[in-house]
A and B are shown apart, each in its own frame.
Chain A
Amino acid sequence: MAIKVPKEREVPFGAITPAPVGQQDLFMTSNWRIVRPVIDNEKCTRCFICYASCPDSCWSYNEKEDQMEWNWKFCKGCQICIYECPSDALSAVAELDFEDGVVRLEKPF
């Protein structure tokens, strides 16, 4: 007689889980931010230093529109890109100045 586990508490066999490829939607860290980086596309020289310096890979290059795209779901507001940008294209703006742009979670994780 196996021990019955309620459906909502089931866990995978041996706690082995599939690994995420690219971006996953189980653990969003957008609510860690206090400030967000705002880009001025006129000043941006497309040098890709923000893309290289972000520890979470939150900057990517949008080829069609020829501008840097910011991942609002995962940016934690560490401001490394703002400090590293050589052309002053990035500035820190309080997250509360924007009405959206954060995934609202029911519980921390």
Chain B
Amino acid sequence: MAKELMLSGCAAAAQGAKFAEVEVICSYPIRPYTAIMMELSRMVANGELDAEFVHGEGEHAQVSVVLGASAAGARAYTGSSGVGVTYAFEVYSPAAGGRYPLQMAIADRTLDPPGDFGSEHTDAMSARDQGWLMGWASTPQEVFDNTLINYRVGEDQQVMLPQFVCQDGYFLSHIPDKVVLPDIAQVREFLPPYSAPHPLSTTCPVSHGPQIKPDQGAVMDAQRASTFLIVPEVIEKAVADYNRIFKRNIPPFIEKYKMDDAEVAFFIMGAHANTCKKAIDQMRAQGLKAGMVRPRWVRPWPTKQIAEAFQNVKAIASVETSTSYGGAMRGGNLVHELRATLYDLEKRPLVTSFMAGLGGDVILFEDFHFMAKILNQMVKEKKTSKHVYWIGFEED
């Protein structure tokens, strides 16, 4: 008895939290993710969702509250945007190292200064080394799916990691699209209740996060790194179950679009991938064999799948919606990990990157066609003459 609604990304995330039957929610307003908390507060007030709704005094307090809740054995949910994400930074590593599978919904927003509401991935990307699962959605339906899948993967007893469920601010969080909501019975079959292995408890006392000496530090790190080696199998099984129960066809790690015979390709994350797919249709109509790979996860990075998808491609455009000032390529974040992924291939494709969609800019069809033109030039000259192009600032 699936229900089809037009929901924005924020509303879809709230529905995801409701169907996941979260037990503790901590809120603090910041645009654009704040709509998620408004929806959830309405559901808790109506009795649709039976959860403890705490209003934190800041984003740092938000993550601390849900960390405590998760440590006590509750399924916890929170979220933030932009500078809120960076304000809570101190708590990210304790959450991951303490193995609390809480979930944080992030609707991207450019970091200050000055105040820009537009979407840019830097806010969550800057936290990718903290040991959380992280991935970007590209449609409101995917935001809903990711909410459930991330809880399932994060709460798996072998994994036990917190998760970032990220979406573009405004493009995804505020523009509605079709979402199919399932039955609660199906969700309960997919997502069993959270059972913490060693919760804080009065009857069976445990210490969480005590002081250690330096010789135990590396061992702790190795323990966390080993977890990430098995996360991909858990993701595969979870998505296979999701597809079976909800009759869907979601790819577990990356979304490939017309990659079978692609000669040039785009590597893009988030809502702008939808525009990219339409642009690729236009390019194909003009005779250019273009394709797209969209990673659904940033942590764990789907190294094997990306390398496989790109192995026969001649040139790749990495569309960067985040910044890494002073980074190795002096551009964005994705290109560094992409180049590392492709380094061991026999025939290395040429890789360049385009800074697009920053600060909330819309990436237009013309921009993708400009990128395709550069890629064609690279293929013809058999080299990458420039590694970073700034869309909108290049004279062509």
The residues of A with any CB-CB pair to B shorter than 8 Å are 3-6, 9, 14-15
Residue of A nearest to B394 (CB): A4
Residue of A nearest to B389 (CB): A3
- Enumerate chain A residues within 8 angstroms of B390, measured Cβ to Cβ: 3
The residues of B with any CB-CB pair to A shorter than 8 Å are 113-114, 390, 392-395
Q: Is the CB of A15 within 8 A of B113?
A: yes
In angstroms, Cα B388 to Cα A3, docked, is 10
- Enumerate chain B residues within 8 angstroms of A5, measured Cβ to Cβ: 393
Residue of A nearest to B113 (CB): A15
In angstroms, Cα B358 to Cα A9, docked, is 14
In angstroms, Cα B114 to Cα A108, docked, is 20
Q: Is the CB of B114 within 8 A of A15?
A: yes
Nearest CB of chain A from residue B364's CB, rounded to whole Å: 15
Closest 6 CB pairs of A and B: A15-B114, A3-B390, A15-B113, A3-B393, A4-B393, A5-B393
In angstroms, Cα B113 to Cα A14, docked, is 8
Q: Is the CB of A4 within 8 A of B114?
A: no
In angstroms, Cα B392 to Cα A4, docked, is 10
Nearest CB of chain B from residue A16's CB, rounded to whole Å: 9
Residue of B nearest to A6 (CB): B393
Residue of B nearest to A11 (CB): B114
- Enumerate chain B residues within 8 angstroms of A14, measured Cβ to Cβ: 113
In angstroms, Cα B113 to Cα A5, docked, is 18
In angstroms, Cα B390 to Cα A5, docked, is 10
In angstroms, Cα B113 to Cα A15, docked, is 7
Nearest CB of chain A from residue B354's CB, rounded to whole Å: 13
- Enumerate chain A residues within 8 angstroms of B113, measured Cβ to Cβ: 14-15
- Enumerate chain A residues within 8 angstroms of B395, measured Cβ to Cβ: 4
- Enumerate chain A residues within 8 angstroms of B393, measured Cβ to Cβ: 3-6
Residue of B nearest to A4 (CB): B393
In angstroms, Cα B114 to Cα A9, docked, is 15
Nearest CB of chain B from residue A51's CB, rounded to whole Å: 32
- Enumerate chain A residues within 8 angstroms of B114, measured Cβ to Cβ: 15
Nearest CB of chain A from residue B115's CB, rounded to whole Å: 9
In angstroms, Cα B392 to Cα A9, docked, is 10
A-B contact pairs, 12 of them (CB 8 A): A3-B390, A3-B393, A4-B393, A4-B394, A4-B395, A5-B393, A6-B392, A6-B393, A9-B392, A14-B113, A15-B113, A15-B114
Nearest CB of chain A from residue B331's CB, rounded to whole Å: 10
In angstroms, Cα B284 to Cα A78, docked, is 57
